[in-house]
Amino acid sequence: MNDREIRYNRDFLNWTDIRNDNQAYKPDFHIYPTRGLINDPNCVFWWQDNLYCFFQHHPANTLHGLKTMSLAKTSNFTDYEYTYMVNKPENDFESHGVYSGSSIIHKGRIINFYTGNKRDKDWIRTSSVVKSEFDVNTKEFKNKKVLITNEDYPNYTDHFRDPYVFQFANNYYLLLGAQHVDGYGAILMFILDHNLENPVLVKQINLNFNYKMIECPNIIFIDGKAFLIYCPQYQDSLSKRNPRVNPDICVYSYVDINSLFNLLDFYYQIQDFKQVDYGLEFYAPQTFKLGDKWAIVGWVGLPTNLKYKEVDCGWIGMLSMIKTISVNHSNNSLIFHEISRYKGEYLCSKNPFVKYFSTDIFQNKRINIFDNEKLLLSLWLEIKAVGIDLVIKRYNDVSFYPYQNISRIKCEDEKNKIDIFIDNTIVEIKINDKIWYTARIYFSERINIVKEVI
């Protein structure tokens, strides 16, 4: 078989057991697969004191290919019950995979929207927005129904995916990541009827920067303000602004509610954005309501291929810690908070490769993270006339590109609080209780965090 035939082979859909005994590099408190590749979290919802987090999953191998959806369920955000291949490509409209979407609790039922992917013999794609009801008892996607496809909208290409359903005021809406036929990315907004069907396109949301695609749009509402969270893709304009920043990133924008929901104007222009995470691997997040708060979980990975060591063990990919969200009203920025249980679990864990560490960093002080004596990650401040940068550099061989090993984060003060969460092969660092850095690093001997004067 050629590469495409391998990646889209359907034999694994009949597997009843996808366990993998080789679990080297596995995390303790993060969602990960025992076998195959996982990426984007989607259709995440909180129901009867349990979190249901679906994710894209290709169990057959560690390549992107024929995707299913698997499920991680938890009540405490650290211990997960997995059900694999809950949603399979079983219909013609999803013959080449079921992809990202979202959930909404509607009239006491869990309604999932997702992307159906179909290819013809010439490999031309049709992308569908599919509605389905999820049964928490049988863990089934029932009554699948195509609402729209990219072919219904000739102004847009087959990059037409990742439906995000939400309610605002008395109406229901759907966001969709899209690419215009003129080659630029956009977010499309549809209004739905009260049965969550019959979508009508009412808004095209454009960026003030030229990206060729926008993926995984989300919207959250906090304290009367609205924020779009999304992933611009396929453009190097960010790299031109900052050559150390990966062009495939996750960002958010404050939006004016009155203008966004003024349906007399078809276009809405986003003027600027801020990064959700300033690390090396954080992408395709999903936001959801966690009680009375908004929360977020992301894929710890990137669309670009990286050299992850667990590939040799038959699996690849994981999801981030779950974080709640608040707003800094002085500058309309989002603040992401780890769930308090994480600190306790890290402090109490008997796993030598799980560690929580808190300290301050300031000029002439460096924080180094070693695997025994091998340097993996280093943090230091650079104070210049134009401002203060926290520099974080990764030294292991995960990335193919230099910009995927170094990050620069603007700081306001010469002294900064640092919280470090390590879970075997992932590090998540919180800076000044508001900014996050996520990256993959690998330990084989012991975690050794050293503070030194430089």
pLDDT tens for residues 339-398?
Answer: 877 776 666 677 888 888 999 998 888 999 999 999 999 999 998 888 899 999 998 766
**How many CA atoms, within 13 angstroms, populate the side-chain half-sphere of residue 11?**
6
Query: What pLDDT is attached to residue 302?
Result: 86
- Answer whether 40's CB lies under 8 Å from 301's CB: no
Buried b (16+ CB within 10 A) or exposed e, 417-453: ebbbbbbbbbbbbbbbeebbbbbbbbbeeebbeeeee
- Answer whether 214's CB lies under 8 Å from 177's CB: yes
Predicted TM-score (pTM) of the model is 0.95
Spatial distance between the Cα atoms of 172 and 165, rounded to a whole number of angstroms: 7
Taken in order 347, 399, 115, 255, the sign of the CA dihedral is positive
Buried b (16+ CB within 10 A) or exposed e, 109-126: ebbbbbbbbbeeeeeeeb
Q: In the predicted model, what is the mean pLDDT of residues 204-211?
A: 89
Taken in order 278, 428, 230, 288, the sign of the CA dihedral is negative
Q: What CATH number was assigned to the domain covering residues 354-453? A: 2.60.120.560
Quickly state the pLDDT bin for 284 (edges 50, 70, 90): very high
Q: In the predicted model, what is the mean pLDDT of residues 172-180?
A: 98
Strand order in the sheet with 365-371: 406-411, 387-394, 374-384, 365-371, 447-453
Mean pLDDT over the full length of the chain: 92
How much of the chain exceeds pLDDT 90, in percent? 75
Q: How is residue 350 written in tokens?
A: 């008997």
Question: Which residues neighbour 337 within 8 Å (Cβ) at sequence distance 6 or greater?
Answer: 323, 324, 325, 326, 433
Is 241 in a helix, a strand, or coil? helix
- Answer whether 407's CB lies under 8 Å from 392's CB: yes
Residues of the chain with CATH 2.60.120.560: 354-453
- Answer whether 327's CB lies under 8 Å from 321's CB: no
Query: What pLDDT is attached to residue 243?
Result: 43
Phi/psi at 356 (nearest 5 deg)? Answer: -120, 135
Q: Which residue has the tokens 């005994």?
A: 21
Spatial distance between the Cα atoms of 97 and 42, rounded to a whole number of angstroms: 14
Spatial distance between the Cα atoms of 437 and 439, rounded to a whole number of angstroms: 7
Residues of the chain with CATH 2.115.10.20: 3-338
Q: What CATH number was assigned to the domain covering residues 3-338? A: 2.115.10.20
326 vs 9, 105, 215, 223, 224, CA distance in Å?
Answer: 44, 22, 23, 9, 12
What secondary structure letter does DSSP report for 348?
Answer: H
Look at residues 391, 354, 392 and name the one whose alpha carbon lies nearest to residue 376: 392
In the predicted structure, residue 1 carries a pLDDT above the cut 70: yes
Read off the amino acid at residue 30. Answer: H
